[in-house]
Amino acid sequence: MFDGESRPWGHFDVILSEEFYKVKRLVVAPGQRTSMQRHSKRAEHWTVVNGSGHAWSYDPGGDTVGKEIGMSDAIAITTGSWHRVGNDSEDEDLVIIEVQLGFCEEGDIERREDDYGRLDK
């Protein structure tokens, strides 16, 4: 049962929230993806627990790097790194357990690309 926060790409549930870390369950709906974003005050660690898709980041030279991801894959996202995740499936949710470390508030998001018109002005 979903009781978290809806997003255009799916939803997330907060599993645990402490002062300097937070654990979330991200559910990316089939055919959807998050914005290309970065955080100035937190790092994230993702572990795929269901489904498959792609994770993208910008390398230091500014090129976009994409990686196929699936069950049990882990991705470390350093503070300040641009990143996004997408679900390539037509019928299966992509589920990720996300551990945030640092300042763990939704306001610490800067978007570079977004499929849903949520770019920062």
**Domain ranges across the chain:** 5-108
Phi, psi (degrees; rounded to nearest 5) at 77: -120, 115
Query: How long a stretch of residues is the chain?
Result: 121
CA distance 66 to 75: 12
Q: What is the pLDDT of residue 66?
A: 87
pLDDT in tens, 5-45: 999 999 999 999 999 999 999 999 999 999 999 999 999 99
- Residue 28, CB half-sphere, CA atoms under 13 Å: how many? 28
Average pLDDT score over residue span 72-101: 95
Q: Compute and round to an integer the Cα radius of gyration of the chain.
A: 13
Strands in 5-7's sheet, in edge-to-edge order, are: 5-7, 10-17, 21-28, 94-102, 42-50, 74-77
Q: Which fold has domain 5-108?
A: Jelly Rolls (2.60.120)
Q: What is the DSSP letter of 29?
A: P
Question: Model-level pTM?
Answer: 0.90
Structure tokens at 91: 């019928």
CA distance 52 to 95: 8
